[in-house]
Amino acid sequence: MPAKESQKICMDCKDADAILHTRHRHYCGACFKRFLSHKVAMRMSKFKQMKKSNGKAPKLLLPLSLGISSSVLLQIINEDIGRQFAKTFVNVGFEVHVLVVDAQGGANDDVYDAVSKAFSRLSFTKLPLHSVFEYVSEMGEIIAEYANQNFVDQEQATNEDRLTAFRTTISSPTSRSDLDSVLLTRLVVEYAKSLNCEAVIWGDSDTRLAAKTLASVAKGRGASLTWSVSDGMSPWGVNFDFPLRDLSKPELEQYLSVCEELSGLVVPDAPISEDVLTKNLSIDDLMMRYVRTQGEKYRGVMANVSRTANKLQSTIGSDDPSCPLCGGLVGNVKGNSGVTVANQSSDNYSAKFCYGCMRSRPESSIK
Amino acid sequence: MAPTACFNCKEARAVIIRPKNRHKLCRACFLQVFETEVHETIIGTNLFYPGERVAIGASGGKDSTVLAAVLKTLNERYNYGLDLCLLSIDEGIRGYRDDSLETVKRNAVQYDMPLEILGYGELYGWTMDQVVAQIGKKGNCTYCGVFRRQALDRGAAKLGIKHVVTGHNADDVAETVMMNLLRADLPRLSRGTSIVTASGASDIKRSKPLKYAYEKEIVLYAHHRQLDYFSTECIYSPEAFRGSARTLIKDLEKIRPSSILDIVKSGEDMAALVPSDGSQHSTQCSSAAAAAEDDVGGCGSQNGRTSGGEMAAMEKELAQNESAESRETEIRLPNRGQSSLGYQSKSVKKQTLGHCERCGYISSQRICKACTLLDGLNRNRPKTAIEVSVSAEDEETSSTLMRQMERTQLTNS
């Protein structure tokens, strides 16, 4: 009954009217924001402890997509830093640098300018995705070997043209989005290393992590889950961390709805079109849709997916060869005696690149 | 449109588009390729040894019929030296099983293999028809699955055979991987994909030689070899709804046909990454428990589906855990052996294995699943003349007793 609904008061402060609802609790805007901030603070506390133990504040890189999740993470961290600065003894605990990777040719430049102005306490960098050729100097050779014979990497061309040429050789939406995220990860990692960052803090919600887990499994990248959705060491010597892993996308959307500081600073998600045939979706999109629709009814089950993946044992530190493109393991994880890899293909590529990358390879086909 | 030549032999006219990679093949090449892939799986995993006696778990459905046909062909072509036979379980579902059993009987003649049929009625004192009459159509697949698991092992033991092969295909395995991920079942994730589930305790080895074969290709193979199989689904199955995982996999296959195999590959890798407590003993136990409990999901090609109730129940439990968390105070032990960033070392709960106190079957519980289910059934069964003699205090032993008595009854009649 709507009349009854409007009389609800916040279950935390027992004062203001409750306007938001999550996890069977009703909150006012301020208490809701505090609840989410607390969840993030719990995840961030390990960095503060690190400072306590060795006296040096760790450097963190926050890749900002300007979308909802990473913007909320930025806001929560910025607020925390602000609170620390207001104290007599300032103890921030970590140093945050923000990186925006532009994959769309400057489409969101105005938002970037506004964000970097609004969060003036933090340092910002913007890099185009094609600068991956600069930061990963051997990338030209890697993709030349990886792509099919019709593709020749023109080293004298601009990086932008090189990237475009490479992307046009890939025909399926799944492979394109797969390789885009591989390149993005490589760029973020190399940039983090150039700044001597200890960790990259990704703004993935648990909804996104669940979708990413299922999509990775479906793309044959199960072995990479130990770093692509889990907290811990990545293959490149930089830690990956996911401070929003306890929060769902709908919760972050609610946060945004009551957060004045972020108004006008977030690029909204592209609306999900209902008309696209399933077969034309990318696997990443399909999984995101699946997790969101199932998450409405089974929030806990979906959140559990990424938690399960987070329990897998990392293979980082083993001497097994890794894929020059995505950093994943080449061949099977030790102890896996399956013959999927042997069934895969007769060409010699599979000896160099990992299973998942071979699947996204232009014109790849399986035997 | 001019007919396309076969991708493989470049001569004959292509009549098949392979679901796995969209290659266009002629009939002969398709059959050849399909058989060769199964052969490679068998060789690559050292599945059999020469002279081994192998029982094929045969339901009369497409998967097990194709398995029997392919194994017979390969056994002759590559001289595996296997002694093959068919093993069928009669669940006692009138209108489904009696027809499919006829198919198996014909198969036995066609492939010239001995056939053994074992009934639920004879093993447990309950046919599936009686179970359904008792508990209704909802959830009866659990009973069927649990009972069948043991029935195959007992059948094999009766024949003195130590290796049972089943017709699980790549779709089934992929479904199981997704399922176990969704229900956060790490122990099952660690063993659901392995081709062999050997069990130290009952020394009957289970394997699935078709684990890399697509369901669609199995249907095509059966069609093009004009195999005699029974295609009606179990009459009780339409009641249970196909799990989330199954729909998801069908969608994935539309997007990228290879994804079924890709999920199998991911599943195999993840299985190796599931943390164990390190001792050799526990890994052995888990694979044995697999043999005992893997098929809880249900039957044949529908293995791995889940009812909505299961998912909702898990959701409820998770929500309760979460709300309880806020009322708890967490007490942590001081950090030990952790990395500088405080990433915690990972561990999962392990199952330990023993024997069922009632029937001696391997089980991770005191009483195995089948006996537990039987208890529930027998408690509600109308008292028969036989059971009147059993006093209420003896209820614990009544199920076994009754099973024995019914067996006597059956052999008498």
Q: How many CA atoms lie within 13 A of A64 on its CB side?
A: 29
Highest mean pLDDT range out of A27-36, A348-357, B286-295? A27-36
**Chain B contacts of A24, Cβ < 8 Å?**
319, 323
CB pairs under 8 A between A and B: 189
What integer pLDDT is reported at residue B140 of this predicted model?
72
The pTM (predicted TM-score) of the whole model is 0.84
Right CATH for B28-312 from 3.90.1150.10, 3.40.30.10, 3.40.50.620, 3.60.15.10: 3.40.50.620
Higher-pLDDT residue of B300 and B126 is B126
The torsion angles phi and psi of A231, rounded to 5 degrees, stand at: -75, 135
Q: Is the pLDDT of residue B96 over 80?
A: no
Segment B161-220, tens digit of pLDDT = 989 999 999 998 998 888 888 888 888 888 777 888 765 556 788 899 999 999 999 999
DSSP A353: S
Whether the CB-CB separation of B397 and B357 falls below 8 Å is answered with no
- Contact assignment for B261 to A337 by CB distance below 8 Å: no
Report the alpha-carbon distance of residue A235 to residue A47 in Å, rounded: 20
- Contact assignment for B315 to A309 by CB distance below 8 Å: no
Segment B195-210, tens digit of pLDDT = 887 655 567 888 999 9
Segment B10-67, tens digit of pLDDT = 888 888 888 888 889 999 999 999 999 999 999 988 899 999 999 999 988 899 999 9
pLDDT band per the 50, 70, 90 thresholds, residue A366:
very low
Which of helix, strand or coil describes residue A83? helix
Span of A94-103, B35-44, B78-87, B374-383 with lowest mean pLDDT: B374-383
Average pLDDT over residues B341-365: 63
Segment B388-410, tens digit of pLDDT = 444 444 444 445 555 555 555 55
Q: Is the pLDDT of residue B334 over 70?
A: no
Which sequence spans correspond to the domains of chain B?
Answer: 28-312
Q: Is the pLDDT of residue B341 over 70?
A: no
What integer pLDDT is reported at residue B4 of this predicted model?
85
Average pLDDT over residues B247-259: 90
Residue A305 lies in a domain: yes
Other Cβ atoms within 10 Å of B332 Cβ, number: 5
Contact of A19 with chain B, judged by CB distance below 8 Å, is answered with no
Span of A275-289, B60-74, B246-260, B332-346 with lowest mean pLDDT: B332-346
Higher-pLDDT residue of B323 and A102 is A102
End-to-end CA distance of chain A: 60
**Chain B contacts of A225, Cβ < 8 Å?**
270, 273
What integer pLDDT is reported at residue B349 of this predicted model?
55
Q: Strands B83-90, B16-17: parallel, antiparallel or unpaired by DSSP?
A: unpaired
What is the residue range of A41's domain? 2-270+278-360
Segment A90-111, tens digit of pLDDT = 777 889 999 999 988 778 889 9
Average pLDDT over residues A234-256: 94
Segment A306-335, tens digit of pLDDT = 888 988 988 877 777 889 999 988 888 877
Span of B89-103, B210-224, B337-351 with lowest mean pLDDT: B337-351
What integer pLDDT is reported at residue B152 of this predicted model?
84
What integer pLDDT is reported at residue B135 of this predicted model?
78
Contact of B261 with chain A, judged by CB distance below 8 Å, is answered with yes
Helix/strand/coil (H/E/C) assignment for every residue in B159-218: HCCCEEECCCCHHHHHHHHHHHHHCCCHHHHCCCCCCEECCCCCCCEEECCCCCCCHHHH
Segment A186-241, tens digit of pLDDT = 999 999 999 999 999 999 999 999 999 999 999 999 999 999 999 999 999 999 99
What integer pLDDT is reported at residue B91 of this predicted model?
82
Average pLDDT over residues A276-285: 87
Contact of A221 with chain B, judged by CB distance below 8 Å, is answered with yes
Report the alpha-carbon distance of residue B259 to residue A264 in Å, rounded: 40
pLDDT band per the 50, 70, 90 thresholds, residue B297:
very low
State the helix-helix crossing angle for B369-379 and B395-412, rounded to 10 degrees. 90
Give the mutation candidate from B21, B211, B262 for the A interface (greatest A CB count, under 10 A): B262
What integer pLDDT is reported at residue A179 of this predicted model?
93
DSSP B234: P
- Contact assignment for A222 to B267 by CB distance below 8 Å: yes
What integer pLDDT is reported at residue B222 of this predicted model?
94
Average pLDDT over residues A250-270: 90
Residue A307: which of B41, B184, B311 has the nearest Cβ? B184
Residue A367 lies in a domain: no
- CA distances B230 to A73, B66, B145, B233, Å, are 57, 12, 19, 9
Residues 6 or more apart whose Cβ sits within 8 Å of residue A119: A74, A78, A98
pLDDT band per the 50, 70, 90 thresholds, residue B285:
very low
Residues 6 or more apart whose Cβ sits within 8 Å of residue B129: B92, B93, B94
- % of residues, chain B, pLDDT over 70: 71
- Contact assignment for B256 to A172 by CB distance below 8 Å: yes
Residue-wise over B154-178: b if at least 16 C-beta within 10 A, else e? bbbeebebbbbbbbbbbbbbbbbbb
Angle CA B36–B32–B227, to nearest 5: 105
